[in-house]
Structure 1
Amino acid sequence: MKNSQLYKGSLTTIIMKLLEENGRMYGYEITQKVKLITAGELNITEGALYPALHRLEADGHLDVEVEKVDNRLRKYYKLTESGQKETVNRLSELEDFIKNMQSLMGNRDLKLGY
């Protein structure tokens, strides 16, 4: 993941949004989807992804399904009902944050007297 607190603070929201859109996904699939959507600008590392997935699961926001694929076990993650509700809340909060930041950045010249 890019070395930015802004991205790190949004990781769970990113994961939840992708799961909302795609139904269920496995870890590597999530990392590749983020890379594709951001044209390679954002790379989520396993060291960031899996702790976030485990936290979401522990909080009751994710269900995990294990399937055998090509003789390997693969964990698929999907949102629970509470996870779906939490996704709506997080996306709403993120939209509000973005609007506020855009307002602040748009008014930067006025506040600084430039």
Structure 2
Amino acid sequence: MYSSGLIKGTLKTIILNLLKNENRMYGYEITQKVKDLTGSKIKITEGALYPTLHALEKQGDLITEKEYIGKRVRKYYKLTDQGKTTVQERVNEFADFIQTMRFLLDLDSPKQNV
């Protein structure tokens, strides 16, 4: 499992990209999908998930849709048009960041003997 610091820095990107691929999801579904896709290497807690979802909604990247299941209400999250643009920007930024980190950590070049 990865450190909470690494996950915290990428949580918005993870959520936005997942919603881009899945169209709409509810909170627990998001946590389980991430856990399944990563072989339990990334586990998103409710304490991290919901504040992030609310922040993305406040920024205008997400909207919510309520669906009644019996007497319960399930809140689904879905990307807005702005969110569709944001996800592409964040994914591109993160891909560039990974490439930069690989360079800084010297993972892209063979080690030279001194």
Instruction: Indicate whether the TM-score tops 0.5.
Output: yes
What's 1:62 paired with?
62
Cα distance in 2 for partners of 1:45, 1:2 equals 13
What are structure 1's unaligned runs of at least 5 residues?
A: none
What's 1:46 paired with?
46
What's 1:15 paired with?
15
1:80-95 alignment runs, 5 A limit: 80-95=80-95
What's 1:77 paired with?
77
Q: Which amino acid aligns with 1:11?
A: L
Cα distance in 1 for partners of 2:26, 2:46 equals 12
Cα distance in 1 for partners of 2:7, 2:18 equals 15
Taking a change above 3 Å as real, the CA distance of residues 49 and 108 of structure 1, as seen in their structure-2 partners, is farther
* Alpha-carbon distance, 1:6 to partner: 1.5
Q: Which amino acid aligns with 1:71?
A: K
Taking a change above 3 Å as real, the CA distance of residues 33 and 24 of structure 1, as seen in their structure-2 partners, is same
If each structure's helix is expressed as a fraction of its own residues, which one has the higher value? 1
Q: Which amino acid aligns with 1:48?
A: A
Q: Give me the TM-score of the superposition, normalised by structure 1.
A: 0.90
Q: Which amino acid aligns with 1:24?
A: R
- What is the root-mean-square deviation in Å for CA atoms of aligned residues? 1.8
Q: Give me the TM-score of the superposition, normalised by structure 2.
A: 0.90
Cα distance in 1 for partners of 2:19, 2:92 equals 16
Cα distance in 1 for partners of 2:34, 2:11 equals 10
* Alpha-carbon distance, 1:75 to partner: 0.3
Consecutive aligned runs of 4 or more in structure 1 exceeding 4 Å deviation: 107-110
* Alpha-carbon distance, 1:3 to partner: 3.4
Taking a change above 3 Å as real, the CA distance of residues 102 and 35 of structure 1, as seen in their structure-2 partners, is same
